[in-house]
């Protein structure tokens, strides 16, 4: 369904809806915290730096009237955005880094596929093409250039339950290669996002190709979002996602504040 | 025998913590050789290179032949206590707070008679073993010990002033994830430490020896990441006032030098842990420790760094790691100067390659966690400043002392086999 409305009136209406509460802003971001897990790679590889903060002054001899901090982290720390250049499959694409992605790609519609029940029973729960088509049977076909988020409620996990590391590596839910291919090749999605530490399953290295979400998404110029929070507060369809990464020169990703605009059907506009 | 030290009572919160005072620290340059000998627990006196006369007290020219070639040499510490007296009044604030204090004269079998502190288990005419101990000023002083160990001799109050015995003290080990943490905690528990805090970073992913660590008596695992200033500050706020011994075993080690790596990522990690980690810990825990240097039987007493012996001379195969340890060694000297004001000792334990995953392809001998733990606890009990653990470390420091440039040249060729 399309409405032809005056764009200026549309924006004014949105502003009014935001102020009246008819449209809510849902924060899908975890706090950048030194204790928030980062992906763990074999130790001979370089690692993802966790978030760290050093106080430069706090209204004291180091700066009498002001407080500020220096912080350090990886491009892939906390709730973060993956650009195509993050993966080898996307390294030669045009506009593949956070500074060159067109800004209109940072605001867009979102579909949320609820896998929370399956993930509560199986740490290695897989998002499959069958689950996607079953979701579409209920909510309609996933529109082109749309974000698809896999809800698992994994964001509610704390401490070592989040990465869920075992002797054979981490165990957390994610999509199968076939599911990613369906989203990317047949639905032409803009990107795919998860609540886990990566867009791929914890055991994603054992698929063909290894890390299919990274490989296929970024190879096709699509984006990733991970470590998302509060996905249980989004409707299956109809929300608008705002996902602007920091404009880092040749950046492969960035921590960011992810927000969703959601219609509050209970509110009177 | 010495009366065993009772566990100290809980501190009276209405009493002011006693401000640390120090015995006289003024010495001639020649006499500083005592501090150097005491730092390693050696018994050394100047010996004339020309006539062989053993000198005491230290001087600039031989008392027998006026030669200026006086070398500090390891000599026999055997002697006999020939006289003693007890000081009951002193104008020096440090001794005034600790009288009565016994001193005596020991005639060494090798000749000189020496004024010294005297252990309570030594009587006049007894044979003694003279040792050089670091006092609260960090100066080397003579201390007459029983020839053979006596029960609880380490609890002698004057001896305890010169050592950093873990008995009844509360210890912080900074890195639970280090493979040596259980051995360190176990050795400290056996040495009578009353509480062993062990800092744990990144509790969100497991490590194999956590269960072992938890089972050791008096161990409390606390959140601590030496790369995270807020975490260090927070733990210091909680337990800084009851950290009597801090053992910094946190270290980040990766093989590789400069061109093998091609980036500074691991080097930054090495500096973050090995250098800035010590600095963060010192900024957070140092002030309270320095203020508690005279806080009764469980006063703050020692800060221990576990460093690579390649801090002294770079091992190219672990070149960047060596450099981070050289930086840490330099920082530890600054820390020593700052903690000295409170009479708190900085002990550096230097080790060669350790028996762990990062040194796995290197040939033996490698230092086992238990050997490292013995060296740490032994060094604390003896009140040392510099400990070299294992054959590789001992050999390397000997070669460094013989000629640092020659050693440097050797290290270039061996690519780390040294």
Distance from CA of B5 to the nearest CA of A (A): 41
Give pLDDT tens digits for B55-82.
999 999 999 999 999 999 999 999 999 9
CA dihedral B110→B116→B121→B125, nearest 10 degrees, is: 50
- Chain A residues with beta carbon closer than 8 angstroms to that of B205: 37, 40, 160, 163, 165
- Chain B residues with beta carbon closer than 8 angstroms to that of A37: 202, 204-205
- In the residue annotation, A86 being an active-site residue is answered as yes
| ipTM of the prediction greater than 0.85, yes or no | yes
Catalytic residue among A30, A76, A80, A86: A86
CA atoms within a 13 Å half-sphere pointing along the CA-CB vector of B319: 15
Domains of chain A are: 20-36+75-263 (3.50.30.50)
Q: DSSP alpha helices (H): ranges in chain A?
A: 7-20, 116-121, 129-139, 160-163, 177-181, 212, 218-219
Confirm or reject contact between A52 and chain B (CB < 8 A): yes
CB contact under 8 A, B206 and A160: yes
Q: Quick check: B415 and B317 in contact, CB under 8 A?
A: yes
How many other β-carbons are positioned within 10 Å of the β-carbon of residue A32?
18
% pLDDT > 90, chain B: 97
Find which of A30, A34, A71 to mutate to test the B interface (most B CBs within 10 Å of its CB).
A34
Determine the Cα–Cα distance for residues B137 and B25; give it in Å rounded to an integer: 6
Phi, psi (deg, nearest 5) at residue B239: -125, 5
Q: Give the residue on B whose Cα is nearest the Cα of A158.
A: B204
Q: Quick check: B278 and B248 in contact, CB under 8 A?
A: yes
In this prediction, residue A265 carries a pLDDT of 76
Q: Give the residue on B whose Cα is nearest the Cα of A160.
A: B204
Find which of A35, A58, A196 to mutate to test the B interface (most B CBs within 10 Å of its CB).
A35
In this prediction, residue A2 carries a pLDDT of 56
Give pLDDT tens digits for B343-374.
999 999 999 999 999 999 999 999 999 999 99
Closest Cβ opposite residue B225 in set A34, A55, A162: A34
Give pLDDT tens digits for B263-312.
999 999 999 999 999 999 999 999 999 999 999 999 999 999 999 999 99
Give pLDDT tens digits for B128-169.
999 999 999 999 999 999 999 999 999 999 999 999 999 999
pLDDT at B415 over 70: no
Quick check: bond before B100 cis, omega within 30? yes
CB contact under 8 A, A165 and B206: yes
Residue pLDDT tens, chain A, 269 long? 456 679 999 999 999 999 999 999 999 999 999 999 999 999 999 999 999 999 999 999 999 999 999 999 999 999 999 999 999 999 999 999 999 999 999 999 999 999 999 999 999 999 999 999 999 999 999 999 999 999 999 999 999 999 999 999 999 999 999 999 999 999 999 999 999 999 999 999 999 999 999 999 999 999 999 999 999 999 999 999 999 999 999 999 999 999 999 999 765 43
Domains of chain B are: 30-153 (no CATH), 170-414 (3.40.50.720)
Interface contacts A/B by beta carbons within 8 Å: 38
In this prediction, residue A1 carries a pLDDT of 47
Confirm or reject contact between A42 and chain B (CB < 8 A): no
CB contact under 8 A, A165 and B263: no
Give pLDDT tens digits for B186-222.
999 999 999 999 999 999 999 999 999 999 999 999 9
Find which of B204, B228, B251 to mutate to test the A interface (most A CBs within 10 Å of its CB).
B204
Instruction: Taking each helix axis as running N to C, give the angle between helix B276-291 and helix B319-340, from 0 to 180 degrees, rounded to the nearest 10.
Output: 20
In this prediction, residue B416 carries a pLDDT of 45
CB contact under 8 A, B231 and A34: yes
In this prediction, residue B1 carries a pLDDT of 87
């Amino acid at each position: 369904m399309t409405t032809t409305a005056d764009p200026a009136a549309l924006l004014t209406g949105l502003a009014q809806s935001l102020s009246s509460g008819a449209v809510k802003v849902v924060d899908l971001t975890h706090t950048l915290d030194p204790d928030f897990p980062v992906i763990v790679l074999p130790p001979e590889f370089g690692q993802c730096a966790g978030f760290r903060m050093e106080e430069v002054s706090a209204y004291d001899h180091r700066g009498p009237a002001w407080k500020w901090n220096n912080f350090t982290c990886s491009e892939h720390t906390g709730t973060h955005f993956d650009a195509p250049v993050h993966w080898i499959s996307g390294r030669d694409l045009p506009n593949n880094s956070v500074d060159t992605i067109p800004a209109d790609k940072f605001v867009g519609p979102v579909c949320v596929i609820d896998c929370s029940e399956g993930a509560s029973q199986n740490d290695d729960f897989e998002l499959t093409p069958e689950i996607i088509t079953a979701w579409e049977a209920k909510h309609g076909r996933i529109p082109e250039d749309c974000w698809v988020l896999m809800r698992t409620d994994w964001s509610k996990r704390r401490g070592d339950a989040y990465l869920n590391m075992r002797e054979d590596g981490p165990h957390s839910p994610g999509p199968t290669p076939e599911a990613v291919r369906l989203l990317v090749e047949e639905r032409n999605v803009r990107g795919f996002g998860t609540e886990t530490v990566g867009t791929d399953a914890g055991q994603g290295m054992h698929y063909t190709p290894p890390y299919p979400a990274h490989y296929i998404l970024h190879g096709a110029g699509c984006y990733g979002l991970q470590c998302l929070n509060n996905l249980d507060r989004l409707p299956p369809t109809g929300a608008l996602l705002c996902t602007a990464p920091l404009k880092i020169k040749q950046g492969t990703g960035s921590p960011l504040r992810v927000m969703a605009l959601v219609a509050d059907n209970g509110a009177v506009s | 025998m010495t009366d065993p030290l009772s566990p100290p009572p809980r501190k009276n919160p209405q009493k002011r913590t006693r401000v640390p005072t120090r015995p006289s620290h003024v010495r001639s340059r020649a006499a500083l050789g005592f501090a150097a000998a005491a730092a390693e627990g050696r018994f050394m006196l100047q010996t004339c290179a020309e006539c062989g006369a053993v000198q005491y007290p230290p001087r600039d020219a031989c008392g027998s032949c006026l030669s200026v070639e006086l070398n500090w040499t390891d000599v026999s510490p055997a002697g006999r206590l020939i006289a003693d007296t007890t000081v009951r009044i002193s104008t020096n604030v440090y001794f005034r707070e600790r009288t009565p204090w016994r001193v005596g004269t020991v005639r060494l079998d090798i000749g000189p008679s020496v004024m010294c502190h005297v252990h309570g288990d030594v009587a006049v005419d007894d044979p003694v073993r003279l040792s050089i101990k670091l006092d609260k000023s960090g100066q080397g002083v003579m201390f007459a010990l029983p020839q053979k160990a006596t029960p609880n001799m380490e609890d002698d109050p004057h001896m305890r002033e010169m050592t950093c015995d873990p008995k009844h003290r509360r210890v912080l080990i900074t890195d639970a994830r280090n493979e040596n943490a259980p051995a360190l905690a176990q050795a400290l528990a056996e040495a009578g430490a009353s509480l062993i805090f062990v800092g744990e970073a990144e509790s969100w992913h497991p490590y194999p020896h956590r269960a072992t660590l938890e089972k050791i008596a008096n161990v409390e695992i606390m959140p601590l990441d030496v790369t995270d200033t807020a975490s260090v500050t927070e733990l210091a706020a909680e337990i800084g006032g009851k950290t009597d011994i801090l053992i910094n075993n946190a270290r980040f080690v990766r093989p590789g030098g400069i061109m093998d790596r091609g980036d500074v990522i691991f080097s930054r990690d090495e500096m973050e842990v090995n250098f800035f980690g010590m600095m963060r810990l010192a900024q957070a825990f140092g002030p309270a420790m320095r203020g508690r240097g005279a806080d009764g039987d469980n006063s703050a007493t020692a800060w221990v760094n576990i460093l690579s012996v390649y801090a002294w001379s770079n091992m190219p195969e672990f070149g960047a790691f060596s450099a981070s340890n050289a930086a840490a060694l330099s920082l530890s000297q600054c820390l020593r100067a700052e903690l000295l004001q409170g009479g708190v000792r900085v002990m550096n334990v230097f080790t060669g390659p350790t028996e762990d995953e990062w040194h796995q392809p290197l040939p033996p001998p490698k230092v086992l966690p238990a050997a490292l733990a013995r060296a740490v606890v032994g060094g604390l009990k003896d009140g040392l400043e510099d400990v070299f653990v294992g054959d590789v470390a001992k050999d390397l420091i000997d070669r460094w002392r013989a000629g640092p440039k020659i050693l440097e040249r050797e290290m270039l060729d061996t690519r780390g086999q040294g």
